[in-house]
A and B are shown apart, each in its own frame.
Chain A
Amino acid sequence: KQEVTQIPAALSVPEGENLVLNCSFTDSAIYNLQWFRQDPGKGLTSLLLIQSSQREQTSGRLNASLDKSSGRSTLYIAASQPGDSATYLCAYKDMRFGAGTRLTVKP
């Protein structure tokens, strides 16, 4: 059974900090991995898609890496801002999701 775990479940940081969110999966034969953001009461918005042949993807202050051998992906957020406050979810292969990390960035 494919399982996706996200650590930590919740994270609170002061504005300006760099932070890392983690996503681990049990099936090493992955295809791609996608990171999403979800604001309260809203749907999911795609942030980054890492294809199976890639090791990382970058978009602005976001960088996502993928290590298939260890079954892990990390989402790095640089110089965090209050507007980054949201729940971040990862999904892979057959669109299986982790429970998410709820991020709060305090002004």
Chain B
Amino acid sequence: NAGVTQTPKFRVLKTGQSMTLLCAQDMNHEYMYWYRQDPGMGLRLIHYSVGEGTTAKGEVPDGYNVSRLKKQNFLLGLESAAPSQTSVYFCASRLLGGSDTEAFFGQGTRLTVV
């Protein structure tokens, strides 16, 4: 039982490059989330999905796009990376949203944009 798996774990990008982060869960969860974590700022929600084929904006969506073509996968894309996007990115999933279900997190992706 892998839980929530993030790929890659580390990445260095040059300004203007693009990349996609993959989040995969094997728990048949409906809700999935992408966060970024910066020193002293806790976790900020970028985008989330309430089911296959759906996505919604969180607190800090600018500069990111997401897709949920398959229920088990939630992709986070950076079309033109900027140094301000240097951060640690976390993915999470839960069976249902807003209510009585536990959330599970991946181990994070450390992204540096130079």
| Bound: A42/B9 CA distance, A | 11
- Whether A42 touches B108, Cβ cut-off 8 Å, given contacts A34-B103, A99-B40, is yes
Number of A-B contacts (CB under 8 A): 62
Contact A43 B107, beta carbon cutoff 8 Å: yes
Chain B residues touching A, range: 20 to 34
Would A46 and B103 be within 8 Å (CB), given that A95-B33, A95-B92 are in contact?
yes
Q: When A43-B90, A99-B41 are in contact, do A93 and B106 touch as well, CB less than 8 Å?
A: no
Cα–Cα, bound, A36→B104 (Å): 10
Cβ proximity bits A95-106 to B, threshold 8 Å, 1 near / 0 not:
111111000000
B97 contacts which chain A residues (CB < 8 A)?
94-95
Contact check, B103 vs A31: say whether CB atoms are below 8 A apart.
Answer: no
With A42-B108, A43-B106 as known contacts, state yes or no: A97 contacts B100, CB within 8 Å: no
Q: Which one of A51, A95, A98, A99 has the highest number of Cβ atoms from chain B below 10 Å of its Cβ?
A: A95
Shortest CB-to-CB span from A58 to chain B, Å, is 16
A44 contacts chain B at the CB level, 8 A cutoff: yes
Complex interface: chain A residues within 8 A of B59 (CB)? 96
Whether a CB of chain A sits under 8 angstroms from the CB of B48 is yes
Interface residue range, chain A: 20 to 34
Q: Contacts of B106 on A, CB cut-off 8 Å?
A: 43
- The chain B residue with its CB closest to the CB of A90 is B42
Chain A 41-81 near chain B by CB (<8 Å), digits 1 or 0: 11111100101100000000000000000000000000000
Residues of A within 8 A of B64 (CB): none
Q: In the complex, what residues of B have CB within 8 A of residue A44's CB?
A: 43, 90, 92, 105
Assess the B103–A43 pair: CB atoms within 8 A: no
Tell me whether B99 is interfacial, beta carbon within 8 Å. yes
Q: Does B113 contact A (CB under 8 A)?
A: no
